[in-house]
């Protein structure tokens, strides 16, 4: 494969408005490589009574590595950003594993448990299974980005034995700050959309008072916190934010976010744990919205090309670790 065709270059947005970028990122048509690279559905019992679904695809020929992809809040393995990244990676020679968080996607109703933004047990289980061949790359999007960063921090010095590296895109690594941003009047559309999906998913598990929930924070206060044993939503956000363990990350790590992301305030990346950890590289892009990054020219799906470019070069010494592009 001519990897040079994927070289991302600086990001030039198709549109600069953050909400339009966010919507375009969600709606833009994505290449689906399942005809060329058939997907296998595989169930893993990560804990007694907990089963999660992973969609697995292999490249043509011997894989030169593997990627484990983790989706965002109330999404699934079929999210557009997961599907297009998988196709790009498969073409580049990587095996891909797209995991569904507990109860998400086609695993809804078969899992027997809920998930939260700091629940790393399932991803840790998969990482340990995959590393039997070779340590995988872990890529998390939005909420999955918090999971990926937190897991890398929890691995600590054992990280290099288990992971090749970590990428977090549009990651709400300070959960409280991001929930506050979502509650801003201009972002209520996202808050209402997420809470509707969360209520629908949790309704099948029974035992929850879901009447009148109007925000993600209210859902977390009434459902997530008591279900997982947190005092309240704020205790959940404080204890499960990846910011608490960034200083312990010992593998090459890339954090990509847009400065105009409506849901992930740019100020959370001023954390000293990022600037003081030589293993972490931050790319704060001026425009891109939340999981948008739809480019004006080619490659249109700039994010996929950029992430693959970084993976290909992550083993080299990188001089510019904190770059505004």
On whether the CB atoms of residues 225 and 117 are closer than 8 A, the answer is no
Residue 12: CB atoms within 10 A of its CB come to 11
Question: What's the pLDDT at 315?
Answer: 46
Name the catalytic one among 174, 241, 290, 304.
290
Rg of the chain over all Cα atoms, to the nearest angstrom: 18
- 117-149 exposure pattern, b = at least 16 Cβ within 10 A, e = fewer: bbbbebbbbbbeebeeeebbbbbbbbbbbbbbb
Question: What's the pLDDT at 203?
Answer: 73
Helices (H), the chain: 18-27, 80-91, 121-130, 143-155, 159-162, 175-182, 188-203, 216-219, 225-228, 233-240, 272-275, 302-313
Indicate if 235 belongs to the active site.
no
Question: What's the pLDDT at 201?
Answer: 83
Indicate if 290 belongs to the active site.
yes
Question: What's the pLDDT at 320?
Answer: 43
Name the catalytic one among 122, 261, 287, 304.
261
- Distance from C-alpha of 65 to C-alpha of 163, rounded to nearest angstrom: 11
Question: What's the pLDDT at 3?
Answer: 34
On whether the CB atoms of residues 73 and 116 are closer than 8 A, the answer is no
* Tokens of residue 69, six digits: 């992809």
Indicate if 142 belongs to the active site.
yes
* Per-position pLDDT tens, the chain of length 325: 333 344 678 999 999 999 999 999 999 999 988 999 999 999 999 998 889 999 999 999 999 999 999 999 999 999 999 999 999 999 999 999 999 999 898 766 666 689 999 999 999 999 999 998 889 999 999 999 999 999 999 999 999 999 999 999 999 999 999 999 999 999 999 999 999 999 988 875 556 778 889 999 999 999 999 999 999 999 999 999 999 999 999 999 999 999 999 999 999 999 999 999 999 999 999 999 999 999 999 999 999 999 999 999 874 444 344 444 4
Question: What's the pLDDT at 110?
Answer: 64
Q: Which domains are seen in the chain, by residue range?
A: 3-174+246-323 (3.40.50.1820), 177-240 (no CATH)
- pTM of full prediction above 0.75: yes
Name the catalytic one among 142, 170, 241, 257.
142
Question: What Cα–Cα distance (Å) separates residue 321 from each residue in 34, 150, 156, 165, 175?
Answer: 35, 20, 20, 15, 24
Question: What's the pLDDT at 132?
Answer: 87
- Distance from C-alpha of 149 to C-alpha of 152, rounded to nearest angstrom: 5
């Amino acid at each position: 494969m001519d990897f040079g065709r994927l070289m991302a270059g600086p990001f030039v947005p198709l549109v600069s408005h953050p909400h339009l970028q966010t919507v375009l990122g969600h709606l833009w048509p994505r290449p689906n490589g399942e005809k060329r690279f058939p997907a296998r559905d595989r169930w893993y019992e990560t804990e007694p009574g907990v089963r999660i679904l992973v969609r697995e695809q292999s490249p043509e020929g011997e894989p030169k590595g593997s990627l484990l992809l983790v989706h965002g809040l109330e999404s699934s393995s079929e999210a557009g950003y997961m599907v297009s990244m998988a196709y790009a990676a498969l073409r580049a020679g990587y095996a891909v594993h797209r995991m569904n968080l507990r109860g998400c996607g086609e695993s809804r109703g078969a899992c027997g448990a809920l998930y939260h933004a700091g629940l790393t047990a399932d991803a840790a289980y998969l990482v340990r299974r995959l590393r039997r061949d070779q340590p995988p790359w872990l890529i998390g999007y939005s909420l999955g980005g918090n999971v990926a960063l937190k897991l890398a921090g929890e691995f600590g010095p054992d990280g290099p034995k288990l992971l090749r590296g970590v990428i977090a895109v549009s990651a709400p690594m300070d959960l409280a700050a991001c929930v506050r941003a979502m509650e801003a009047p201009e972002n209520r559309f996202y808050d209402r959309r997420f809470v509707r999906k969360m209520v629908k998913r949790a309704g099948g598990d029974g035992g929850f008072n879901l009447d009148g929930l109007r925000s993600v924070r209210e859902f977390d206060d009434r459902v997530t916190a008591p279900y997982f044993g947190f005092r309240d939503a704020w205790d959940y956000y404080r204890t499960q934010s990846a910011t608490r363990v960034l200083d312990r990350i010992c593998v090459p790590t890339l954090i990509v976010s847009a400065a105009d992301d409506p849901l992930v305030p740019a100020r959370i990346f001023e954390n000293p744990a990022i600037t003081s950890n030589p293993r972490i590289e931050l790319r704060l892009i001026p425009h891109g919205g939340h999981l948008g990054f739809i480019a004006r020219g080619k490659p249109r799906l700039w994010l996929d090309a950029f992430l693959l470019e970084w993976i290909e070069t992550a083993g080299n010494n990188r001089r510019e670790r904190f770059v505004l592009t």
